Structure 1
Amino acid sequence: MADIKDPENTIIVTLKGGDVTIELLPDVAPEHCARMKELVREGQYDNVAFHRVIEGFMAQTGDVQHGDMEDGFNLRMAGTGGSDKPDLPAEFSKLPHDRGTLGAARSANPNSANSQFFINFSDNHFLNGQYTVYGRVISGMEHVDAITRGEPPAEPDRMIKCVVASDA
């Protein structure tokens, strides 16, 4: 069980193997943290697929536009969409992309993050200063490690349910 210090800034993601507890870092990336809580509270992350999962690198999810669709077309499109909210400005910091950190996925434009994010399987310091770090897994990393690999996986794992801990 996670030691939750700030329930308002903690997200619990239910995966097939169990819960993953993510501590958000609003002092580091306030806009990214606010966006994640907003999408979680709207239920937009529920049933969204992990559409890009690379062994030794990271698991990416959060395409709320395409990621909850069951048909092959939308899974092929997963990773190309976001939410109906405006893109976020980069909130780069000195925090490293260590194992278990949450990073904001984006296009080549540093100010294009929207709803997609990734969880690092390993220390990926080559990403430092280029992608916003805004959270870290504080329990359940073994469930992240068990996510099915692929780009996209043939049968992708999903975020079954996401809640802000203070709402649980």
Structure 2
Amino acid sequence: MRKLLLALPLLMAAPAFASGIDITVAGEANGVISIDLLENLAPKHVERITTLAEEGKYDGVVFHRVIEGFMAQTGDVEFGRLDGDMSRAGMGGSDLPDLPAEFSNEDYARGVVGMARSQNPNSANSQFFITFAPASFLNGQYTVVGKVTGGFEVLDAIKRGTGPNGSVIGKPDVMVKVTETE
């Protein structure tokens, strides 16, 4: 009993996580993508996503890199706003520090959400991607943070980019609102 009472303040001090997020998308795709966040696999990354969502930082951020048959990338809260200079979209992050990798054995199946990063495994910040199809070559290389549980038709309708890097030309689809769910 004494151990339980001593541990209680630690449990109460632990960060509270939303169990998921809903992403309201507008553009060629219109609707909501629901994502179950996997704090057991990547607690620091899930905390970052929920913090940025709670602060409204993801609202108005575009899907700047979308590769047919692979993934849709978004989350550049610094340069990826529809109302800003889109020429640097995908090059920024948040004003928070980069995160250390939280790799797992989770398989990159269709609808898995992973954290985008540079070649440095410890450089994830605010950007994330959602896979359109299985991408097992990413397994153990990128931090898995969640899985799509609803809105696959919205995911599949996101405007595709062109060329090998999937840059979206013209007006990209946008995350109008990102909200936490219970």
TM-score by length of 2: 0.84
Is 2:55 aligned against 1:45? no
Secondary structure of residue in 1 paired with 2:18: helix
**TM-fit CA distance, 1:153:** 3.1
Distance (Å, rounded) in 1 between the aligned partners of 2:18 and 2:49? 12
**TM-fit CA distance, 1:141:** 1.2
Of the three residues 87, 97, 102, the one matched with 1:86 is 97
**TM-fit CA distance, 1:109:** 0.2
Contact in 2 for aligned 1:53/1:153 (Cα 8 Å): no
Which residue in 1 is equivalent to 2:169?
153
Which residue in 2 is equivalent to 1:15?
25
- Letter aligned with residue 88 of structure 1: L
- Letter aligned with residue 70 of structure 1: D
Contact in 1 for aligned 2:159/2:168 (Cα 8 Å): no
Distance (Å, rounded) in 1 between the aligned partners of 2:82 and 2:31? 22
Distance (Å, rounded) in 1 between the aligned partners of 2:169 and 2:60? 15
Distance (Å, rounded) in 2 between the aligned partners of 1:165 and 1:118? 19
**TM-fit CA distance, 1:49:** 0.4
Is 2:152 aligned against 1:136? no
Of the three residues 101, 104, 112, the one matched with 2:115 is 104
Secondary structure of residue in 2 paired with 1:123: coil
- Letter aligned with residue 33 of structure 2: V
Secondary structure of residue in 2 paired with 1:8: coil
Is 2:44 aligned against 1:31? yes
Is 2:131 aligned against 1:120? yes
Structure 2 spans left out of the alignment, 5+ residues: 1-16, 162-166
Deviation string 1:74-94 (CA, Å, 9 cap, x unpaired) is 212000000000000000000
Considering only aligned residues, what root-mean-square deviation do their CA atoms show, in Å? 1.1
TM-score by length of 1: 0.91
Contact in 1 for aligned 2:82/2:174 (Cα 8 Å): no
Distance (Å, rounded) in 2 between the aligned partners of 1:8 and 1:75? 30
Contact in 1 for aligned 2:61/2:80 (Cα 8 Å): yes
- Letter aligned with residue 115 of structure 1: S
Distance (Å, rounded) in 2 between the aligned partners of 1:153 and 1:137? 26
Percentage of matched positions with identical amino acids: 54
Contact in 2 for aligned 1:26/1:33 (Cα 8 Å): yes
Distance (Å, rounded) in 1 between the aligned partners of 2:170 and 2:130? 20
Secondary structure of residue in 2 paired with 1:145: helix
Structure 1 spans left out of the alignment, 5+ residues: 1-6
Distance (Å, rounded) in 2 between the aligned partners of 1:18 and 1:157? 11
**TM-fit CA distance, 1:131:** 0.3
